[in-house]
Structure 1
Amino acid sequence: MVLNVGILNLMHDKVDTQRRFSTVLNEGDYDVNVQYFYPQTHYQNRPVPTLVQQISQPLVLDQLDQFDAFIITGAPLEQLPFNDITYIDEVHQLIDQLGKLAIPQLYVCWGAMAAANYLYGVQKYQLPEKIFGVFANYRHHNDPFLTGLPDGFLAPHARYAELDVNAIKENPELTITATTKDNRLFSFSALHKKQYFLFSHLEYGRDALLKEYRRERNAHPERDYLKPQNYFRDPLHMKDPEFKWAKTRRVFFDNWLQYVAHDVKERQLVKE
């Protein structure tokens, strides 16, 4: 079975992001055709960069019915209010259309924050310091996407903001599926809709956290940035990063694609 997955790529490192998602979505048993998009309103007053045009297409909402699932990536925007994002209305329109079409949705990091805020009014707040590194995560409820992982499974986290966990717990439409020991979100889901909110960058490969640290440090060398924790074999010299979440990544995306394939079959039966 060939699965068609659309991805709105909002990350800064667009080429690396597309390579990562194309890799993880094709590591398993499914042949996955991945199409990448950019928000048109992000470039409404300036030319679309040549690289962006070469590797992705403008988002066109009336073409979404060709996809079996859709992903909205993270973005380095968690320190900004949602209303300050130039393309936030386009993201909201995309979320609305995916809901109308009942297409499985995976929202990652900032994408999860923006979607949860828009759909369920969950507020975002700034963390006292960035959660940055590889951490153990613990289940709160049974989650088919985490089937096959031990409690305390490892995953990378990299963000400056968090959602109101209590607001999620109090919402009868949502269920928290896993958090870190310090109650930082790994994931939650909508009970009766095809929406999954993932706060770990599971698409990241071995060197991604190191690249993120270097990017921030190079952009503002005058600042003291937190180094990724529980990540290096030699933390003193920041050498030999370990790919501790490889199993988590493989199991999660295998389970998610299995769910997408089952959803495709169910929708085909309904049509017949």
Structure 2
Amino acid sequence: MPIRIPSKLPAHDVLKSEGVMVMSKGDAKKQDIRPLKIGLLNLMPQKIQTETQFARLIGATPLQIDLTLIRMTEHTSKTTSADHMEAFYKSFQEVKNEKFDGLIITGAPIEHLPYTDVTYWDELKEVMDWTQTNVHSTFGVCWGGMAMIYHFHDVDKYDLDAKAFGCFDHSVCDASSPYLRGFSDGLVMPVSRWTEIKEAEINAENDLNILISSDESGPCLVEDPKHRALYIFNHFEYDSGTLKQEYDRDVANGTPINVPCNYYPNDDPSQTPLNRWRSHAHLLYGNWINEIYQTTPFELSLIGQE
């Protein structure tokens, strides 16, 4: 939450340069409060696990969040009951006339497919274009982020020789970003993907800014101010045991897979993994929610007209 101090106080400029949320007296007087309307377009097969993971992160701030669960209109989930989907989800076509302060587009286990081969690609393109008129800030996660950066900037994904799988060291590239407020210079984040985005192609786009990157797994968090969007290619939202579930699943299915690196103590799958990313996960999503709160119009009808 922001701090209100006199603009001429020496600490004002120092704190602002460090990324601390500093609010002027005038801005504070103009500020109204209402619940933030956040949508979660859930493309993951394990819907309940995914919706819980993201709700945990965006619900950890003092702000009220009105969460709407969204599904692709024609796509039917094979792993989540129809009763659950009917009770808690709305199709995109049902919400397309509404406005949202924020939208999260999750990943999906379809990295091996060209985008145009995804059965719901046409509707997802409609969703991404719709965010420019009906959503104040959009957060694309893993494949969702890759799809957005491809759609808006034609930055493609590339197959990896082996799956990037485990907990990788990352570095902050832009400490002044409000989304990285409170971040350490270095951090650990779960990675689980068969594809990558090339740093050179991101840097070739003047409108994109890499905020977090890894020497081992490449660009991670990218800001796209023009489209009011963030793209993250890794998985801050993962629970402590999510990588273990993926590893155990592949082993049980006979799928060739390496032990997730830097995840189990001593890389020993018989031991209990430690969660070393939880604090930074809460920081990032809390900063995103707070940035929305600071900048979104009080009147929902004005979203998209900024």
What TM-score do you get using the length of structure 2 for normalisation?
0.80
Distance 1:84 1:270, change over 3 A: closer
Matched, 1:24 2:18: no
2:119 corresponds, among 79, 86, 94, to: 86
Aligned residue in 1 for 2:21:
none
1:2-151 equivalence runs, <5 A: 2-43=35-76, 49-60=82-93, 63=96, 65-141=98-174, 142-151=176-185
Aligned 8 A contact 1:64 1:98 in 2: no
Q: Deviations over 1:142-165 (max 9, x none)?
A: 322112111111211111101122
Aligned 8 A contact 1:41 1:86 in 2: no
Aligned residue in 2 for 1:261:
293
1:167 corresponds, among 201, 216, 220, to: 201
Aligned 8 A contact 2:136 2:296 in 1: no
Aligned residue in 2 for 1:211:
245
Any unmatched runs of 5+ in structure 2?
Answer: 1-33
Shift of 1:140: 2.3
Distance 1:152 1:267, change over 3 A: farther
1:243 corresponds, among 262, 265, 275, to: 275
Aligned 8 A contact 2:107 2:141 in 1: yes
Larger radius of gyration: 2
Shift of 1:61: 6.3
Aligned 8 A contact 1:104 1:194 in 2: yes
Aligned residue in 2 for 1:252:
284
Shift of 1:64: 5.2
Query: Structure 1 CA distance, aligned partners of 2:64 and 2:259?
Result: 37
Aligned 8 A contact 1:24 1:250 in 2: yes
What TM-score do you get using the length of structure 1 for normalisation?
0.90
Distance 1:115 1:169, change over 3 A: same
Aligned 8 A contact 1:112 1:199 in 2: yes
Q: Deviations over 1:111-132 (max 9, x none)?
A: 0111111111001111111111
Number of aligned residue pairs: give it: 266
Which deviates further from its counterpart, 209-218 or 171-180?
209-218
Aligned 8 A contact 2:103 2:135 in 1: no
2:265 corresponds, among 211, 233, 256, to: 233
Matched, 1:197 2:231: yes
Aligned 8 A contact 1:178 1:188 in 2: yes
Give me the identity figure in percent: 25
Provide the aligned C-alpha RMSD in A. Answer: 2.2
1:41 aligned counterpart, secondary structure = coil
1:42 aligned counterpart, secondary structure = coil
Q: Deviations over 1:171-207 (max 9, x none)?
A: 1111111111235121111133311101121111111
Distance 1:267 1:170, change over 3 A: farther
Query: Structure 1 CA distance, aligned partners of 2:97 and 2:139?
Result: 15
Any unmatched runs of 5+ in structure 1?
Answer: none
